[in-house]
Structure 1
Amino acid sequence: MAYDCLGAADSAWAGRTAPEIVETADADGSVLVLPIGSIEQHGHHLPVATDTILADAVAQEGVERVADDVPILCAPPFWAGYSPHHLAFGGTLTLEFETMREAVEDVADAALSNGFDALVLVNGHGGNKPLVGAATSTVGADHPEAEVLGLTYFDLAEGFVDEVRDSETGGMSHGGEFETSLMLHLRPDLVREDAMDAPNLDEPYDRGLQDLFGGGAVSVYRGFDEYSETGAIGAPSDASAEKGERLFDRLGDELGSLLREVHANNR
């Protein structure tokens, strides 16, 4: 399965004409989804666009699940992220925090000017979480006529991920079993299966982040070269395309369900 960054589906913003976009936005309970990713190193086995590819693919899948019943569009992905902690390994293109927040605000302002009743920011990079939370608040305050929501797509998997994973806590970290499985399903041509070298996450604070699905109360800033020699962390060797397909299908269900709620709450 290959994803299309411009979105070939009828629910993709990039494939619509301007009048068609405005017509969708004018419909009762209209929803716009904006994927937000990053360009950053993901070890020796995954491409630097991994977070953008996955956020965009999950966003498109969720939108497609509801497009027959909900006036909804998926915008092209915002590909630049806040990733200074990955710079030591090369390959990373990062924005400053305030620069990115303002850029997301600008895109949201322009998008909402078309008349959408709701905007959902779908983030795919852990380092963007505080920024997306801030942008949700600032865009929401500037646009009281619309409902603005933000989420990180992999948080949607927390309720079912243990049904799929084989790795212990720490194995589903940056470039680990979770992201590698999704990439093996969506873009196997971009996965270097002979270079899956990554240690498990070793966070010294018990209350710190232990996994994509094992968050703690303590936030700490470290460059990723303090965790790993390759830049990846986790158990990519436990990944498979079959797991990726199961994860992607369930993520589509979860996001689709949320988007139906957003539509219903904004009619």
Structure 2
Amino acid sequence: MRKMRWLPIGSWEPHGGHLPYDTDTRIASALCQACAQPEDIVLPAVPYGCSFEHRGLGAMVSIRVSHFAAFVTDIVWAQSDPLVIINGHGGNQVLGSLVQEWNADGARVLLLPDRSQWTFAYQAAGWNFGPHEDMHAGALERSLLLYLAPEMVNPQIPADVHQPHRPYFTAAGLHKYTASGVIGLPSYASREAGERAWNALVGQIRALVKEW
């Protein structure tokens, strides 16, 4: 198998007061470490992303899209091996378009997980809801952290926030729909669900990279 390089990308933003600010980066980094082969290289994580939707909900760092794109592009073009980007933050939407552009220009880049892999993780956890209903700081993120880094999880569980209809999200951000920063169902979280979801994500990513 050809040697790969792996790049975790996350964010630094509020996670409902019960999860660490670097939750997305932690998950992305752990996925890279779990899925990489011994001969692969896991690059240092990009700890900040595009988190504009979190303005008004507490401390956060958000990188302008143009600056974020330029920075990650420089990382991509410095690589001599195929690159797998593991993105842990949904707000980094620009990565999808960037990967298409890089590959059209001759790079060899794969972006994971996509919505289908996240959805599969919810199913593996045993839930009848998915990433749309459980958008941020909900059942999946809490469960994954309970499995990966339980010492970082606040035992006090915030209230579930049901906001599946979010027509003004890009205009107004999270604070229009939640006061806590949660949009999702953290009350459904458990370490056991996190382990099942984690194994599903790792298995899917390994299989997709091997086929690629």
- Give the secondary structure class of the aligned counterpart of 2:20: coil
Q: Look up the match of 1:107.
A: 75
Q: Shift in Å at residue 139 of structure 1?
A: 2.7
Q: Look up the match of 1:185.
A: 147
The answer on whether the counterparts of 1:196 and 1:237 sit within 8 Å (CA) in structure 2 is: yes
Q: Shift in Å at residue 203 of structure 1?
A: 1.3
Q: Look up the match of 1:125.
A: 89
The answer on whether the counterparts of 2:15 and 2:21 sit within 8 Å (CA) in structure 1 is: yes
Q: Shift in Å at residue 133 of structure 1?
A: 1.1
Q: Look up the match of 1:62.
A: 35
The answer on whether the counterparts of 1:125 and 1:152 sit within 8 Å (CA) in structure 2 is: no
Q: Shift in Å at residue 158 of structure 1?
A: 2.0
Q: Look up the match of 1:30.
A: 3
TM-score if structure 2 supplies the norm length?
A: 0.90
Q: Look up the match of 1:138.
A: 101
Pick one of 174, 197, 209 that aligns with 1:247.
Answer: 197
The answer on whether the counterparts of 1:120 and 1:148 sit within 8 Å (CA) in structure 2 is: yes
- Give the secondary structure class of the aligned counterpart of 1:158: helix
Q: Counterparts of 1:92-103 in structure 2 under 5 Å? A: 92-103=60-71
Letter in 1 for 2:9: I
Letter in 1 for 2:159: D
Letter in 2 for 1:58: L
The answer on whether the counterparts of 2:124 and 2:200 sit within 8 Å (CA) in structure 1 is: no
Aligned-residue identity in percent: 31
Structure 1 residues without counterparts, runs of 5 or longer: 1-27, 209-218, 263-267
Q: Shift in Å at residue 161 of structure 1?
A: 2.3
Pick one of 144, 162, 165 that aligns with 1:203.
Answer: 165
- Give the secondary structure class of the aligned counterpart of 2:41: strand
Q: Relative to 1, partners in 2 of residues 1:50 and 1:229: Cα closer, same or farther, differing over 3 Å?
A: same
Letter in 1 for 2:144: L
Q: Relative to 1, partners in 2 of residues 1:154 and 1:78: Cα closer, same or farther, differing over 3 Å?
A: farther
User: C-alpha offsets along residues 3-37 of structure 1, whole Å, 9 cap, x if unaligned?
Assistant: xxxxxxxxxxxxxxxxxxxxxxxxx7221111111
Query: Considering only aligned residues, what root-mean-square deviation do their CA atoms show, in Å?
Result: 2.2
Distance 1:160 1:222 in 2: 29
Q: Counterparts of 1:248-263 in structure 2 under 5 Å? A: 248-262=198-212
Pick one of 208, 222, 236 that aligns with 2:172.
Answer: 222
Distance 2:187 2:133 in 1: 10
CA radius of gyration, larger in: 1
Q: Relative to 1, partners in 2 of residues 1:44 and 1:167: Cα closer, same or farther, differing over 3 Å?
A: farther
- Give the secondary structure class of the aligned counterpart of 1:35: strand
The answer on whether the counterparts of 1:171 and 1:236 sit within 8 Å (CA) in structure 2 is: no
Pick one of 154, 157, 178 that aligns with 2:118.
Answer: 157
Q: Relative to 1, partners in 2 of residues 1:195 and 1:164: Cα closer, same or farther, differing over 3 Å?
A: closer
User: C-alpha offsets along residues 62-92 of structure 1, whole Å, 9 cap, x if unaligned?
Assistant: 11xxx25xx4222111111000110211221
Q: Counterparts of 1:46-61 in structure 2 under 5 Å? A: 46-61=19-34
Q: Relative to 1, partners in 2 of residues 1:163 and 1:119: Cα closer, same or farther, differing over 3 Å?
A: closer
Q: Look up the match of 1:16.
A: none
Q: Look up the match of 2:136.
A: 174
